[in-house]
Amino acid sequence: MSDEAGRQRVVIEGVEPEIDGGRFPIKRVIGERVVVEADIFTDGHDAISCRLLYRGPEASAWSQVPMQPLGNDRWRAELTVTDQGRWRYTVTGWVDPFKTWRRDLEKRVDAGQDVALDLLIGAALVRNASRRAEQGQRRADARVLAGLADDLEKGSDPETRLRMALDTELAALMDRHADRRFASYHRELEILVDRVRARFSTWYEMFPRSTGLEGRHGTFRDTEARLPYIAEMGFDVLYLPPIHPIGRAFRKGKNNALQAEAGDVGSPWAIGAAEGGHKAIHPDLGTLGDFRHFLEAAKEHGIEIALDLAYQVSPDHPYAKEHEEWFRKRPDGTIQYAENPPKKYQDIYPFDFETDSWRALWEELKSVVDHWVAQGVRIFRVDNPHTKPFPFWEWLIAEIKREHPDVLFLAEAFTRPKIMVRLAKLGFTQSYNYFPWRNTKAELTEYFTELTTTKVREFFRPNLWPNTPDILTEPLQIGGRPVFVQRLILAATFGASYGIYGPAYELMESTPRERGSEEYLDSEKYQVREWDLERPDSLRELIALVNRIRHENPALQADRGLRFHPADNQQVLCYSKTDDQGSNVILVAINLDPHHVQSAWVDLDVEVLGVPRDQPYQVHDLLTGARYLWHGSRNFVQLDPHSIPAHIFRVRRRVRSERDFDYFI
């Protein structure tokens, strides 16, 4: 044990937030607070001081914030992150002789004891602080402290000396130049800071090849023409399935038929053909120049393009011919295709990440991301990341974000909970999740309580999707329009980030390929589809309204402010979301029954809502425009799924103006 360690008397435990002992970073976006707490204590009765230390990605020196006591040796401080990249923070604490001396001096004075000797002890402490200030090149402070030490030691007026000893200015100077030689330090922890879109985003998924007219294969120019439609609905991220050449060997036909017929376009996830692989564009979509033009057009509409990152190849991919060492071979010498027994995917070869050439494979896969980043893409939806090694993802994401901290990765991993959590820890910005299969009041309450109030909220950002090209859940198949409306509102208000696969969603596509399947009949994964976007029953206007509500209310732009409120009907779910300042409060009451009118008495936590118990307050339904005057915690709701199954209330508190009339804010 070192000489210093033997005299480090302060213990630091229970630091929060801390993920797996500091193995992984917590996550924030620019402008968010990080509240840090720790148990900090020492032996005996000496007073201690403690600090939260932090530094941004480009900072070489630590900034510090004094930690405040919460009681029972628990301390707290907070910082605000202002730049993208990796931040560091830690906690330090030390026995503080001056703070101990000052505390005990006050007690002795209150007891009427003689403190002449105590003032001499204090003078020595102040003189030592003067020397530390001098050594730290703070000469002005050093002179002030030296003068105060002289006055404490030699001053003739006891009352003046005592007043000087207890002066807050002296306390601040002593705190600035405290003796930290034997300070204890916690290990350094990290914060991965992203741009705001990592926390709040509204996604729309669409197949570009289905944007052509009269059944023609769509192009990027056709997809550009669809941008106003998407923007009008309020989406800010447009996610495209793979845009690369599609293999011809073992190409799947319509409805996943094993044999393709003439004219079948195949699955976009069977990547690679004679025209190129992961860095190429399907020739029917256009050229790289067309793609860049499309990116710029999307930007003009306030839309960012997300590309699919699917690390797998078709048998026709150049990798399969030029780098056979990157794939697993079967006993007959052929490359092993993808399988999930009894299912076989002969049109896809997975990479062998245990190959002896794994380093070259990793670098090549990184170069795919580098290529599309160079074109201007900053968001990637990653296909099946749980089927690739964890060390690969940790390396890839860290390398990309080191060079381009604004790049975001969405993990499409509908898999076991611990695997999903691990991927989020490794660096994935957002994550698909179990929302599509959480339908009852109990399921939704339990799941979203876990996501928003436990430690997982420090690193797992859910992106909620009621449907995807792979997922048509049973409620969407049988519940009709009410379920599509219900699941839209749940996704958009539970999640700061959510998405829909369209136009299937707004047109309420609900026919499965066969009974018991979650696959769509005539799925776009295997064929070009035509969509009647002007259908009068489309949900596009409702979607636009819901997204406008999200953009106008900060409470819906984060996940942390979610709280549930009891309702006496199991078919009625009630919850609220509040922004950090408590100035924007959204209250949602929703009928989970798609068939019948349901009513309930809800018991609101008025403290959470920030409204008085004994005065009226207004709830403004942002879906219908209706306003209701409520009072206290217990109130009544009735919801008809065939008109609108939910209220999205803005809670408005009553205030009195200078002219002595009431209004609501």
Q: Tell me how far apart the alpha carbons of residues 159 and 622 are, in angstroms, rounded to a whole number.
A: 65
pLDDT surpassing 90 at residue 452: yes
pLDDT of residue 191: 98
pLDDT of residue 158: 84
pLDDT surpassing 90 at residue 662: no
- Please identify which of the residues 141, 412, 506, 509 carries the catalytic annotation: 412
pLDDT band at 658 (very low <50, low <70, confident <90, very high): low
pLDDT band at 482 (very low <50, low <70, confident <90, very high): very high
Residues 370-395 have a mean pLDDT of: 98
pLDDT of residue 3: 67
Nearest Cα to 599, choosing from 609, 591, 608, 607?
591
DSSP state for residue 206 in the 8-state scheme: -
Lowest mean pLDDT among 237-241, 249-253, 418-422, 657-661: 657-661
For residue 622, give every residue at least 6 positions away whose Cβ sits within 8 Å of its Cβ, in sequence order, or none. 549, 553, 648, 649, 650
Map out the domains of the chain as residue ranges: 1-95+190-195, 97-178, 203-248+277-311+358-554, 249-276+312-350, 562-664
Q: What's the pTM value of the predicted model, to 2 decimals?
A: 0.95
pLDDT surpassing 90 at residue 242: yes
pLDDT of residue 252: 95
Residues 149-163 have a mean pLDDT of: 87
Question: Average pLDDT, whole number, for the chain?
Answer: 95
Q: Is 352 annotated as catalytic?
A: no
CATH entry 2.60.40.10 includes domain 1-95+190-195? yes
pLDDT of residue 187: 97
Strands 189-194 and 26-29: parallel
Q: Topology of domain 203-248+277-311+358-554, per CATH? A: TIM Barrel (3.20.20)
List pLDDT tens digits, range 320-351: 999 999 999 999 999 999 988 888 889 999 99
List pLDDT tens digits, range 500-559: 999 999 999 999 999 999 999 999 999 999 999 999 999 999 999 999 999 999 999 999
The CB density around residue 617, as the number of other CB atoms within 10 Å, is: 21
Residues 262-271 have a mean pLDDT of: 97
pLDDT of residue 521: 98
Nearest Cα to 381, choosing from 313, 438, 489, 465?
465
- 1-95+190-195 and 97-178: same fold? no
Report the b/e string of 396-425 with b at 16+ CB within 10 A. Answer: bbeebbeeebebbbbbbbbbeeeebebbbb
**Domain 562-664: which CATH number of 3.30.56.10, 3.40.50.1820, 3.40.50.2030, 2.60.40.1180:** 2.60.40.1180
- Please identify which of the residues 37, 151, 194, 383 carries the catalytic annotation: 383
pLDDT surpassing 80 at residue 5: no
pLDDT of residue 106: 94
Class of domain 97-178: mainly alpha
pLDDT band at 267 (very low <50, low <70, confident <90, very high): very high
pLDDT of residue 656: 52
Lowest mean pLDDT among 28-37, 627-636, 650-659: 650-659
Tokens linked to 496: 């700061």
Q: Is 412 annotated as catalytic?
A: yes
Nearest Cα to 252, choosing from 264, 263, 235?
264
pLDDT band at 664 (very low <50, low <70, confident <90, very high): low
pLDDT of residue 657: 52
pLDDT of residue 155: 77
pLDDT surpassing 90 at residue 654: no
CA distances from residue 418 to 28, 381, 442 in whole angstroms, order as listed: 21, 20, 22
CA distances from residue 130 to 126, 134, 150, 174, 228 in whole angstroms, order as listed: 6, 6, 11, 9, 67
